[in-house]
Copies of this chain bind each other. A is one copy, B any other.
Amino acid sequence: MTQNQGPTTFPSEDLLNRVCWDEDGLVAAVAQDFKSGRVLTVAWMNREALRESVGRGEAVYWSRSRKRLWRKGEESGHVQRIVELRLDCDADALLLKVEQTGGIACHTGRESCFYRRLEDGRWVATDPVLKDPSLIYRK
């Protein structure tokens, strides 16, 4: 999965079967910027989302709130191209090393969704908004 264009590999059923899907058919999926190492997002994948992610070479998640596949960047353009995909020891979490289009992963217009830091007993928004969300999500 090192090419610039997907689809790269169509995943086998065996590959998907080796993942320990939870009772809702999901696993946690962490996206990390492959250059900076910054953790960008934590989202969810079901079997179909992983299948499509591997096939396209881009992150596709399962939106628990919208109850549908969520092709990351489908509205914002902020696609996550998968550079490397890893599975953890319990096979119930995935790590995606990604190239983050636009350098913005968060719907608030920030680089990372983890923009709040614990400081003096409070969650403090420490990271700058790089782009006004109203300019990202035009309807």
> CB within 8 Å of B: which residues of A?
1, 9, 11-12, 14-15, 18, 28, 30, 32, 36-39, 41-42, 54, 84-90, 93, 95, 106-108, 110, 113-118, 120-123
A121 (CB) vs chain B CBs: closest residue = B9
Residue numbers in B under 8 Å from A122 (CB-CB): 14-15
> Within the complex, what minimum Cβ distance (angstroms) separates A118 from chain B?
4
Find A87's partner among B1, B87, B106, B114 (CB 8 Å cutoff). Answer: B114
Count this chain's copies in the assembly.
Answer: 2
A44 (CB) vs chain B CBs: closest residue = B28
> Within the complex, what minimum Cβ distance (angstroms) separates A28 from chain B?
5
Find A1's partner among B108, B116, B118 (CB 8 Å cutoff). Answer: B118
Interface contact A28-B15, CB-CB below 8 Å? no
Bound together, the chains give a CA A65 to CA B88 distance in angstroms of 16
A116 (CB) vs chain B CBs: closest residue = B87
Bound together, the chains give a CA A37 to CA B30 distance in angstroms of 13
Bound together, the chains give a CA A95 to CA B127 distance in angstroms of 14
Residue numbers in B under 8 Å from A11 (CB-CB): 121
A11 (CB) vs chain B CBs: closest residue = B121
